[in-house]
Amino acid sequence: MIITDAQADLRRAYVGGGPGAIVSGLVWLVAGVATARYGTAAGFVHLFIGGMLIFPLSKLVCRFGFGRANEMSGNPGGTLVLESTAALIGGLCVAWLLLPLRPGMVLPVAALAVGTRYVLFQSAYGDRVYWLLGALISVVAVTGVLVPASQPWTVWAVAVIELAAGSLISLADLRRTGPSRSTLH
């Protein structure tokens, strides 16, 4: 399988990756509410647990909401995205370690882990919009690290960016493939 075929297959199976970004944005919203009501530790727990649900929930949305079949067996792009999860988990561990020391840094560091991971999705999906998405989230994250007054807004900014990007990616995919080209078998 050549890379462009693998990328096209992932775009087909995952609606360009849009539903994953939307589900992730919703997780960040829940984490924002938990942070506002119960504090940073609760927000981080919601973010971490919700983060574990992003892939299975977005896969269900793709399958049942958009009628998309799974990616082809052996698609190396799926492996690439899975392997990048190790770096994401590493970043989240760093964020967790900051909880007792610098609680205001926890969500910006978590956002940096997410933003830098999105950059890799350009290789998986073959869509440069992921460079922009990763850059925007990373800028928000670094701002949260460098400007303490902005830290409470990090969680909300990431949520809005992901929800907007996920919606635009999904709409672009539907325009490209059309609603009649669902591939659920």
In a domain, 184, yes or no: no
Burial class (CB in 10 A: 0-12, 13-18, 19+), 64: exposed
Domain count, the chain: 1
Q: Report if residue 180 sits inside a domain.
A: no
Question: Which tens digits make up the pLDDT trace of 7-20?
Answer: 999 999 999 999 99
Q: Exposure of 22 by Cβ count < 10 A (0-12 exposed, 13-18 middle, 19+ buried)?
A: buried
Is there a domain that residue 73 lies in?
A: yes
- pLDDT value for 184: 52
Give which of 165, 94, 107 is closest to 133, Cα–Cα: 165
Asked, for residue 183, whether it belongs to a domain, the answer is no
Q: What is the mean pLDDT of residues 96-120?
A: 96
Does residue 67 contact residue 48 with C-beta atoms inside 8 Å? no
pLDDT in tens, 168-184: 999 999 998 876 444 55
Confidence (pLDDT) at 79: 87
User: Is residue 77 included in any domain, yes or no?
Assistant: yes
Which residue has 């990431």 as its token pair?
Answer: 158
Mean pLDDT of 22-45: 97
Helices (DSSP H) in 99-150: which residue ranges?
Answer: 103-125, 129-146
How far apart are the C-alpha atoms of 155 and 119, rounded to whole Å? 19
Whole-model pTM?
0.93
Q: What is the CA radius of gyration of the chain?
A: 16
Is residue 133 in a domain? yes
What is the Cα–Cα distance from 164 to 63, expressed in whole angstroms? 21
Domain membership of residue 38 as a residue range: 3-175
> Is residue 182 situated within a structural domain?
no
Answer whether residue 116 is part of any domain: yes
